[in-house]
Amino acid sequence: MLSHEDNELLCRIGAGTPMGEMMRRFWMPAVVLGELAPDGKPVRIRLMGEDLVCFMDSKGEVGLLDEHCPHRGSSLALGVNEDCGLRCLFHGWKFDVNGQCLDTPAEPENSKLAKAMKVKAYPVKIAGGMVWTYMGPKEAEPPFPHFPWFDVPEGHCEAFRMIYECNYSQALEGAVDSSHAGILHRSVPWSQEAKWPHEKDLRPKLEVEFTRYGLRYCAVRNADEQTKNGRMTQVPLPFYTFIPPDGPKAPEFRRNRRLINAFVPRDDYSTWHIQFFYDPGLKIDRAHREAESGVQVDENFFKTNGMDVWYNQDRELMKHGEMSGITGVALEDHAVSETMGKIADRTKEHLGRSDMAVVAFRRMMLKTLRRFQETGELPEADQSRFDWNQITAETFFFDPEQKWQDIQPLADGLQPIDAAA
């Protein structure tokens, strides 16, 4: 349970809010690169409560600008994208990827207005099939991080985005919560014998370690009488979850396939659910992944099979197919998080031991935020300090006499830290 005041601190991310200002200190993924083309259609995106437009110019350079033209406020997303600039339809003001006005054709020939005009532009980087941006103060801009999925061969990483119609924190908490996997994602009806270790042992032992990049935790289950099954999840600041692959006993295409979730706030009431699927050894089957997700979206990335149609839940499927009656792992996750409300009232919840990682996430976020408010410093935002090749989520089997930390030690320099410190 959280107090109303702490819930507001955790959830509100608009400009000027404490959490919003903290999150803006991190580089964040914004637009899938494949949505853009030189002189192609601009992409509208709402991010951190701001309406923006992203476009690729004639030379392949990408800009992320305030959507509204500084002249009269019309949407630049309606504009003409050509000759290395985005031209407003209303009076033809044209802007480059840095936000500089290049032309004001309705003004006198000797006008200096264009030179004096700029529209707000955020810096961008291209990596991992995404356009990334930094929305914080220029003087505090951290180095761009280098995540391992940036380096896999072409076709071995696929990026996706869709909209969660709820606050980022409850969307993220669903991914942090390992104990739900054997119930919500159960592959057979409740009346039938479970297939997988996480479905057979519904009471995993959760152990959390706070780290310098966020936290990690392990859900330890009984695989059989002689073997433990560990699923270690990473939760880096400010909104990531690194989900472990299915491990050595899974089919080859799932054995080492890794999933990175980024729950990037769209505004207080909706979230960009951005996913990177990558596998160093095998290409990612994008069509299969989309079908496995179950989420169907319109051109604006809102679900067409969401709450309005009650996630197409099938009561017959609940009896004879998968337990939830909802087709698709991601769609199941969206359903349970969105039906809490746009912002969950955490003063009414009743938590148990299975919620240990959820509580740890909230503690991490609020502790980091309060330190940021007190000192103005946020060293965690410099994610280039960490070797992300050593910060991975894993599935593994081990002897009951061993500790999971012996199998999955923390990387050098990332020893656990005291959450109360």
CATH (domain of 99): 2.102.10.10
Domain co-membership, 75 together with 119: yes
pLDDT at 1: 78
Picking from 103, 133, 163, the residue at the C-terminal end of a domain is 133
- CA-CA distance, 377 to 357, in Å (whole number)? 25
Give the model confidence (pLDDT) of 17-28 as tens digits: 999 999 999 999
Q: Which residue has the tokens 């899938």?
A: 32
Tell me: do 57 and 170 sit in the same domain. Answer: no
Q: Mean of the per-residue pLDDT values for the chain?
A: 93
The answer to whether position 260 is within a domain reads: yes
Same domain, 205 and 305: yes
Say yes or no: 76 and 106 in one domain: yes
User: Which secondary structure element, helix H or strand E, spans residue 402, and what is its range?
Assistant: none
pLDDT at 421: 46
Out of 139-153, 161-175, 212-226, 295-309, least confident range? 212-226
Total structural domains in the chain? 2
**Residue 141 in domain:** no
Task: Examine the domain organization and report whether 110 and 190 are in the same domain.
Answer: no
Residue the block writes with tokens 């280098």: 146
Question: Taking 70 as the threshold, does the pLDDT of residue 90 lie above it?
Answer: yes
Farthest-apart Cα atoms in the chain, separation: 84
At 247, the pLDDT band (50, 70, 90 cuts) reads: confident
Whether 121 and 156 map to the same domain: the answer is no
Nearest to 327 by CA among 184, 190, 226: 184
Contact 288, 35 (CB under 8 A): no
Q: Angle formed by the axes of helices 329-338 and 168-176, to 10°?
A: 130
The residue that leads in pLDDT, 248 or 149, is 149
- Residue 363 is assigned to a structural domain of this protein: yes
pLDDT the model gives residue 251 = 74
168 and 281 part of one domain: yes
pLDDT band of residue 197 (cuts 50, 70, 90) is: low
Q: For residue range 256-277, list pLDDT tens digits in order.
A: 889 999 999 999 999 999 999 9
Which residue segment(s) compose the domain that 373 sits in?
148-407
Which pair of structure tokens corresponds to residue 338? 């969105």
Which has the minimum average pLDDT: 288-292, 348-352, 416-420? 416-420
Q: Is residue 19 part of a domain?
A: no
Residue 413's pLDDT band, with cuts at 50, 70 and 90, is low
Q: Is residue 138 part of a domain?
A: no
- Asked whether residue 143 is assigned to any structural domain, the reply reads no
**Alpha carbon 214 to chain centroid, angstroms:** 15
pLDDT above 90 covers a percentage of the chain that reads 83
Within a domain: 292: yes
Q: Looking at the whole model, is its pTM more than 0.85?
A: yes
Please tell me whether residues 153 and 269 are part of one structural domain.
Answer: yes
Q: How far apart are CA 34 and CA 154, in angstroms?
A: 13
Q: Stretch 24-46: mean pLDDT, rounded?
A: 98
Whole-angstrom Cα distance, residue 40 to residue 43?
9
- 213: pLDDT confidence band, cut at 50, 70 and 90? very high
Q: Are residues 61 and 118 in the same domain?
A: yes
Share of the chain above pLDDT 70, in %: 97
Burial 332-347 (b: 16+ CB within 10 A, else e): bbbbbbbebeebbebe
Residues 129 and 152 in one domain: no
Whether the CB-CB separation of 195 and 188 falls below 8 Å is answered with yes
The first and second tokens of residue 98, run together, are: 């840095």
Whole-number Å distance between alpha carbons of 150 and 186 = 32
pLDDT for 145 beyond 50: yes
Q: Per the domain annotation, does 239 fall within a domain?
A: yes
User: Do residues 234 and 376 share a domain?
Assistant: yes
What is the mean pLDDT of the segment spanning 298-316?
Answer: 97
Boundary-marking domain end, from 83, 105, 133:
133
Domain boundary, last residue among 99, 133, 167: 133
CATH number at residue 327: 3.90.380.10
Q: Does one domain contain both 183 and 266?
A: yes
- Among the ranges given (13-17, 36-40, 226-230, 265-269), the one the predictor scored with the smallest mean pLDDT: 226-230
Alpha-carbon span 342 to 315, nearest angstrom: 25
